[in-house]
Structures are given as structure tokens and as C-alpha cells.
Structure 1
Amino acid sequence: MAVQTIQPQTAFLHSSSPKASSSVRRFRFELVNSSSFRKCLKLRCRSSSNNGEEDYLLDAPVQVGDGFSFSGGKYSEEPSPSDEWFKQGRTVKAHSILGAREKAKDPIFGLTMGAGSQATGDFFRWFCVESGNADNPSVILIHGFPSQAYSYRKVLPILAKDYHATAFDWLGFGFSDKPQPGYGFDYTLDEYVSSLESLVNELAAGKVSLVVQGYFSPVVVKYASLHLEKLNNLILINPPLTAKHVKLPSTLSAFSNFLLGEIFSQDPLRASDKPLTSCGPYKMKEKDAMVYRRPYLTSGSSGFALNAISRAMKKGLKTYVEDMQKILRDKNWKVQTTICWGQRDRWLSYDGVEDFCKDSNHTLIEVPRAGHHVQEDCGEELGQIICGILRKRNLI
């Protein structure tokens, strides 16, 4: 396999001399002002049901907060960047809600949780932002742990010209539903696989290309292995690939600690700012920070979901990474797979990544200036990389 070296922002334009065929291909490369403090503040988000619209509580006065957030449910009475992002999206209902439908209670005091922690209806609501013509090939952008669809805000416009791109919030993140663990969704990795199946079927009738970043990569690869007929391409961004990657970094594993995990996950700065800025060179702007903090400030449901996901990851990540290794190394694996790697990742070591790609015969694209969250550090560049990959696969 030829080795090609491509400088950043000029992907797929220049190549170096070929080397041995056993080498890996490597490229371098919401709210409105309220007239009454006591009224609930709401925005409408376009929905695929209920006559095209459905209420989603973005912010609320202290009186209606669920009591498990440092702000007591109160975020701000002023407009926020979250408002504009939320207005771009729509809610999609997917994955059946199971269970006895009892009122969710917190695991510490047994008190009934607020509306944000309750599972309502028959299907979960997923927040999605779409860009591009729906008649074009479909690309679904999947954020990592922990993050939001907002992380792909710079990638979506790049893909919109030739593709129909969709970024969504996983259950438990952003503006998607966040039921209290044990009351409809337990946030296990197996549940995420089955819920992804439901969502992809709802978003795209035909074949799709999936782009996934970080610790949710093993979940997506597992899904892909069960639905090969659905996949055109698979692009993994800084996934946990090697035996060194099976342990969560302390920043994330802290949320799984007994009792302290519940406390840490209710701290918006620890839950949103620190995970995004401690794993690479990303310097978060305040306007972006306010979007990421928003769910943790509005309700405690985001924190309890983060706590449950961290425990599930800590318990099942090793098995899922090992399964992913087997799947991607299988000679019968037919899905075109590309590994995109931000080389300034402080959580996942680059050691062994190149060897893995050589052994499994998958393309490796290196992004020298990016960390773990490549879409944050080099969003436009990543968008061009994804376009280059898909064009090379003759999807347009």
C-alpha cells in the first residue's frame, strides 16, 4: 500500500513516492427575555411528530428546577449561543422506551426527579442538526464522550455542498433526552448500539457513511459489524484502538467514583469545560463554553447521565475495544474504513496506532495540530478530509 504525505488543508492533492505495499497509507495533513420571572422559558424545536413541533424545556426559573443542579434549573434570562444552535435543529423520535414508567427518583435521596430526568412518550427524543440536500449521499456525524453534536458545527457547512450531513446528540448529552438511569435507559454500551440502530434507520432510508470521534467509536464499530448492508464508509477519529487505550483517563473516570462521581458530574465546569480542554490544545471560547455548559446548568439529569455513562464505559470499554480490534482486523471486513488521528491527543497515545492500521490495511490520516477532539481543533480541515475520503470512494 502506497504511503502518501499530504500537508494540512491540501488533503488528497499531493503525494510522495510509493513505498512497500505492506505500508499504511498515511496522510498528514434559545432563550428570549422573559417578561415574567415565574414563567417557564421555552423554545420550540422542529419535530417529526406532533404536527411538526414539540416543546423542549431549555431553561427555567429556579422555582421549576429539579434541585440537582448548582443553578437550581436557572441558566440565564439573557439570550445565549445555545439558542441559535438549538433553533437549527429538530427532534427525531427513535428507540423504544422500556420499563414500568415509574416516576424517576435520584439515587442518593430517593427524591422524585424533575421533568428532564423522566422518560416520556413511547420513543426517545434525539436532537439533530442537518445540513445539505436530503437527496445527496448521507453522512452521520457522531460525537464522542463527553461532548455534543455542537462539536461538528464547523464540519457541517463543509459537507453540506455535496452531502446530506446530520450531527446528533447521544441520549444523555446536549439536547437529547436524559432519563434517570434505571427508568427507561441505563446507558450501557449495548443499549447505545441498539439505540444507534433505531436512530440511523430513522435518519436515513438508504446507505450511510458514519463519522465517529473518541470513546463512542467501539460502539459504532459494533453497530457497523451488525449492519454491513447499511454502511458506505466508516471514519474513526481518535478512537481507542490499542491495549493502552482501554482505560479511561482520570478526567472521565472520576465521574464513575462512588458518591464523588455524582458530585463531580453536577459541576458544569468539571463536566463540560475540563474534558474538552484537558485532552489536547483546544482553547474554548466563552460563547462555545456556554453551549456545552447549558445542559448541566439547566438540570441535574445531564450529570446523572454522565455518571452512568462513565461507569458503563469503565466497565465495558476493554471488551468493546478488543471486539473492535477483531472486527477491523477481520479479512472479511468489507466496510471502507479510515482512521483520522489528531497527534496532540493527551488522552490516547499514538503508540501502536500506525502498526494497527498497517496490520488491518486501513488508511491512516494524521492531523498534526489537533488533539483528541479533532473537530474542535481543526473543524474546517476535518470537513475537507471527510469530503476527500468520500469523493475517493466515488460517493458523488
Structure 2
Amino acid sequence: MVQYKKMNIDGLEIFFREAGYSYNPTIILLHGFPSSSHMFRNLIPQLADRFHVIAPDYPGFGYSSMPSTEDYPYTFENLSLVIEKLIAKLYISRYILYVHDYGGPIGFRLAIRNPTQILGFVIQNAVADEKGLGKPFDLFKALWANRNPVTEAAFSELVTFDFTKKQYLTGVCQPYLISPDGYMMDQSLLNRPGNNQIQLELGYDYRKNVEEYPVWQQYLRTYQPPTLIAWGKNDFIFTLEGAHAFSKQLIPIQTYFLCGGHFVLEEQSWHVSELIKSFFGRLYIYPPYSSNYIEKYR
């Protein structure tokens, strides 16, 4: 059963979904833009028989606190610090990171600061190489180059209903499996007063992620975390080049290009759960129902 919880982190109420037994390997699911832990609603119960699953909402997203930009500096560094403190308060010492979209910059920051805690990665359409940035990032790049009312107004296209729906529907292979619940919920949260400014600040801060790509690549080369790539191959936001780039840094890697788009879990959650169980089962998990059904560290 999935439990729905909140924890106070530095005065912020951070919402998270939790499932599975704590003696199993922990997998932390880090959502992307413009979503929340809701994007993992189908995946969580499919993983809970083998993993302890934690899926948080970042400040400004989902059901977590949404302070104004005047009261809280929205940067990827600060979001990663909140998630790091949540993990510490949950007494989780080692974990697998599942990262999607904005979850990538947050997850790689966690890994850089805590390399010995990372058991591995699942990467779904998140990048650590500039070649992976697709056409929508032209609006980001214009904002980074010259932040002014014109580039800010252009960037606001990314928080409209049309663009949110486009992220869910572009490139899908089984359109009748795509529930409107995902994009309707995301948009309802984007429409909250003040959230547009939050997304603008994070969009501008994203330039620092690109600056950090060489550092993240060095981390991958040095620590070689076992990595499973489960990629929606028709994504128009992050390119196939971004997926292939991880193979340049990593040896323990398996890459799967799944039929679907940016939110490939909407139609492929069972497939992804089976890939995760197979990949990490060989590394960290004994056969289910045995007396030693516990984490096996490297």
C-alpha cells in the first residue's frame, strides 16, 4: 500500500509517497517538470514488492509547500538540499536514484555530495550532456543569454496548458493509455498564483546545471554507478543523443529505448518496473521470499 506523508524540512512541509518495506533496497523517485510524485503513481506499487520506495514533491511542486520567490530562493541547489535533508531524516543511508527531467540536476547534486550512498541510477529522459537538450531549450537559452521582459514572456509558453498537454501526448505509442489526470493535475498546480514566477526562476537557474555537466560526467567516470537508462525514445524535450551520452562515461550501463514520449511511464510503467527489478535484482536483491530478502551491497 502507498502511504502519503509530510515532513517538515527547514520550515517547509515536504510531501512524499512511500511504499514497500524499509529492509528492502530504497529507491528514491525524483520527478520532472512540470509534474510531481504523481507521475510515479502507477510505478510505485509495481516496485513496492522488491523495494522501499520514496517519491517526494519538491518545494513549489505537488503537495509540498510553495513559498513565494521572495521568501525562498528557487534554485536546483536548494531543491537538492531539501531532498538530501528529507533522506537523512528518514534514516536512509544508501539508495538508488530514479531521475526524470528536473530530477536529473537534483539527483546528480545528491550523488556529487554523497557518492558512497548511491547504489545506482535509473535515468528516464534526464541529461548530463548539452547535446541532450532539445528544441524547447531554445527558450531557456534565450532567457540565460539576456533575461528581460521579452525572453521572460517567451519562456512563459512552457507553463501553458497547451505545452503541458503536449509533453504528455507528443510521441506516445498507445494514446488511449494516456490519462488526462496527469496533465490536468500538473496544469492545475502550475496555475496557482505565484507558481509562474517559481518556474521562471528555476528556468533561469537551469543554466547552472549545464555548467555542472562536466562535473557530473567526471563523477560518473570515477564512481561508475550501475545505471539503467529507460528512455521514451520519441521525447522532443531531451534528445536520443542525451541518452547515448551516458554510455561514454559508464561501463555498468544498460540502455532501453521505449516506445513513448517524455512521460513514458504513462504507458510503460509495468515495463519499466520489470527492467528495474531485473537490473538491480542481479546486484542487490536475493530472490523474493527467501530468508535473506535484504539488500546485498557491493
TM-score scaled by length of structure 2: 0.81
Unaligned runs of 5+ in 2: 287-298
Q: Which amino acid in structure 2 is aligned with residue 273 of structure 1?
A: K
Percent of aligned positions with the same letter in both sequences? 21
The question of whether the paired residues in 2 share the 8 Å contact of 1:207 and 1:231 is answered with: yes
Alpha-carbon RMSD across the aligned residues, in angstroms, is 2.9
Q: Deviations over 1:339-371 (max 9, x none)?
A: 332222222222364364155314132133132
Shift of the 312–242 alpha-carbon distance from structure 1 to 2, 3 Å rule, reads same
Structure 1 residues 334, 383: CA separation in 2 closer, same or farther (over 3 Å shift)? same
- The partner residue of 2:34 within 137, 142, 146 is 146
SS, match of residue 240 in structure 2? coil
- State yes or no: 1:382 paired with 2:272: yes
The equivalent residue for 2:44 is: 156
Q: Distance in 1 between matches of 2:56 and 2:101?
A: 15
Matched, 1:323 2:215: yes
- 1:161: how far off? 0.9
How much does 1:263 deviate? 5.5
Change (3 A) 1:162 1:216: closer
Which residue of the other structure, out of 65, 88, 96, is the alignment partner of 1:177? 65
State the Cα distance separating 1:322 from its structure 2 match: 2.6
CA distance 1:274–1:310, shift in 2 (3 Å): farther
8 A Cα contact 1:152 1:375, kept in partner: yes
| Matched residue type, 1:376 | E
Q: Partner of 1:214 in structure 2?
A: 101
Work out which of the residue numbers 90, 93, 98 in structure 1 matches 2:5: 90
- Letter of the 1:242 counterpart: D
| 1:8-30 Cα distance to aligned partner (Å, 9 max, x none) | xxxxxxxxxxxxxxxxxxxxxxx
In structure 1, the gaps of 5 or more residues are: 1-86, 97-122
> What is the CA distance between 1:146 and its match in structure 2?
2.2
String of CA shifts for 1:218-245, please: whole Å, max 9, x gaps: 3311211211232222222222133312
Tell me, in whole angstroms, the C-alpha distance in 2 between the residues paired with 1:92 and 1:206. 18
Is 1:230 equivalent to 2:90 in the alignment?
A: no
Match of 2:290 in 1: none
Structure-1 separation of matches of 2:135 and 2:82: 23
Which position in structure 2 is the counterpart of 1:336?
226
The CA distance in 2 between the partners of 1:262 and 1:148, in whole Å, is 20
Match in the other structure for 2:283: 393
Native 8 Å contact 2:27 2:53 kept in 1? yes
Matched with 1:296 is 190
Q: 1:223 to 1:355 in 2, by over 3 A?
A: closer
218 and 329 in structure 1: CA distance in 2 versus 1, 3 angstrom threshold: farther
Secondary structure of 1:191 counterpart: helix
| Residue identity matched to 1:385 | L
User: Residue 307 in 1 paired to residue 188 in 2?
Assistant: no
Letter in structure 2 aligned against 1:361: I
Equivalent residues of 1:218, 1:324 under 8 A apart: no
Q: Which of 1 and 2 has greater Rg?
A: 1
Q: Is the 8 A contact 1:179 1:305 kept in 2?
A: no
Separation in 1, partners of 2:81, 2:174: 32
Counterpart of 1:371 in structure 2: which amino acid?
Answer: G
Mapped partners of 1:246, 1:266: distance in 2: 18
| Displacement after TM superposition at 1:280 (Å) | 5.4
Distance 1:248 1:190, change over 3 A: farther
What is the match of residue 291 of structure 2? none
Whichever residue aligns with residue 155 of structure 1, its letter is L
Does residue 364 of the first structure (1) align with residue 258 of the second (2)? no
* Counterparts in 2 of 1:235 and 1:272: CA distance versus 1, 3 Å: same
| Contact kept in structure 1, 2:30 and 2:37, CA below 8 Å | yes
Q: Which residue of 1 aligns with 2:166?
A: 274
Could you tell me which amino acid in structure 1 is paired with residue 203 of structure 2? S
How many angstroms does 1:152 deviate by? 0.7
Alignment correspondent of 1:187: 74
Equivalent residue number for residue 22 of structure 1: none
Partner Cα separation in structure 1 for residue 4 and residue 135 of structure 2: 31
